[in-house]
Structure 1
Amino acid sequence: MGIRKAISKDSVQIAPLIFSSGPVTFDYIFSTRHGPAVVDFLKIEFAESQTMFSHRHHHVYERDGNVVGSIGSFDAPSHSATFLGNARAIFCNYGLRGVLKGLLFELRLMKAPRKGCLYLFHVAVREDCRGQGIAAQMINFMMAKGREGGYRCLSLDVAEKNTNALRLYQQLGFEVVNRNKTYNSVLDNHLYMELDLAAANDHS
């Protein structure tokens, strides 16, 4: 039981978790009118790809042999390295429309990681395991990884209406740096947050 590096065979259990980290955004960018069901797309990309959805960029929280939590991370270089793979995978599954939607979302609402920051994404806990401190444990784990890697901060984006996640991040020491206003009525405003690793204390 605990946190470990994700592996390819976690794809079936983790794909619904990744989807649950931002269902409105996933459904908007990866419209089933133009391609496969999002969870099916995520299963394949998590298991096999060189994209941001790959297991190579994720850790999982495992309990009794089941994956009940997910957290992804990358820095500026590793994020840039996925750009072409992301675009290719989205184009092959959802066409140019999906690529353009994804690019606009990243440019307007979810900015690329800043130099010196370890960026967190796809933070999710299985519904029946929420309220047990699992998300906090995963973020504390990433604090330690960030310090080991010489990063100065952790960073993330959160939908402004996701008040439960926002409250948790603030309790852990994240502070809002920017508010990115939505450009589409389907999508929410997003808050860009950072946590100073030199000043932060782990929370259990």
Structure 2
Amino acid sequence: MPLTFRPARPADVDAAVPLIYSSGPEAFDYAFARPGRNNAQDFLRYAFAQGSGQFGWRQHWVGELDGRVVAAGTVFGGEQNLGYLLAASRQILGFFGAGSLPVIRRGLQLERIICPPPRRTLYLAHLGVTPELRGEGLGSQLIDHLLQRGRRAGVSMAALDVSAANPKAQALYERLGFRVQIERPSHLPSVADHRYMQRPL
């Protein structure tokens, strides 16, 4: 079942945000959920609609099957780290207001486990496929589409992070040529260790 890929649009928020969230629910919950007040997807919807930064619609691609969004993901490099940090800070302040400082602190803690990528590296993130269609090759199509963007941009290395608690995803990435470079231990509640993987383009 071949997908059709296109840049995301603001109207994709309802379909895309659950897919983005599915790429790392434990990490997103740790950073952005406040029990009794909001869940992580509430913030992701806000940030997606803003358009800017690593969570914004302008940075994402979606894959459609028969006109329905069933896959989503993004790519960026270390050259965007500062801009993404500033955009995330603005979005956190805009959404959480006076409660922003604990959210920023948790985000910085996560960055010790899921680190910002180096320069001249095509970093794949927020990779999600509709649950009922997983195992049908859609994830491979999504990754191949994003890798092609890196090749056209002249980048020589691709990378991503995978949770040690997600062996199926790691097995997919290994089939596509990614290899574990380092495992970063987590001491955060409900957040597993993460493995940084790379492959040449």
1:129 maps to what in 2? Answer: 133
Q: Distance in 1 between matches of 2:46 and 2:95?
A: 11
Of residues 124, 143, 146, the one that matches 1:142 is 146
Q: Distance in 2 between matches of 1:52 and 1:110?
A: 14
Matches within 5 A, 1:179-190: 179-190=183-194
2:27 maps to what in 1? Answer: 25
Matches within 5 A, 1:97-112: 97-106=102-111, 108-112=112-116
Q: Distance in 2 between matches of 1:44 and 1:31?
A: 13
The TM-score, its normalising length taken from structure 2, stands at 0.92
The answer to whether the 8 Å contact 2:122/2:159 transfers is: yes
1:25, distance to aligned residue in structure 2 (A) = 1.0
Counterpart of 2:19, as a letter, is: L
- Are residue 167 (structure 1) and residue 180 (structure 2) matched? no
- Are residue 70 (structure 1) and residue 104 (structure 2) matched? no
The answer to whether the 8 Å contact 2:10/2:51 transfers is: no
Q: Superposition RMSD on alpha carbons, in Å?
A: 1.4
2:88 maps to what in 1? Answer: 86
SS of 2:34's equivalent? coil
Counterpart of 1:4, as a letter, is: R
Q: Distance in 2 between matches of 1:72 and 1:79?
A: 14
Question: Which runs of 5 or more residues in structure 1 are unaligned?
Answer: 198-204
SS of 2:92's equivalent? helix
The answer to whether the 8 Å contact 1:91/1:99 transfers is: no
1:44, distance to aligned residue in structure 2 (A) = 2.2
1:6, distance to aligned residue in structure 2 (A) = 1.0
Q: Distance in 1 between matches of 2:82 and 2:116?
A: 8
For each residue in 1:73-115, what CA deviation from the matched residue of structure 2 results, as whole angstroms up to 9, or x when unmatched? 1111223211111022223434210111001111x11111111
1:191 maps to what in 2? Answer: 195
Deviates more, 1:53-62 or 1:24-33: 24-33
Number of matched residues? 196
SS of 2:52's equivalent? coil
Counterpart of 1:98, as a letter, is: V
SS of 1:100's equivalent? helix
The answer to whether the 8 Å contact 1:52/1:82 transfers is: yes
The answer to whether the 8 Å contact 1:6/1:58 transfers is: yes
Percent identity of paired positions between Structure 1 and Structure 2: 34
The TM-score, its normalising length taken from structure 1, stands at 0.91
1:202 maps to what in 2? Answer: none
1:201 maps to what in 2? Answer: none
For each residue in 1:26-67, what CA deviation from the matched residue of structure 2 results, as whole angstroms up to 9, or x when unmatched? 111112237533222212211223221001111111112211
1:3, distance to aligned residue in structure 2 (A) = 1.3
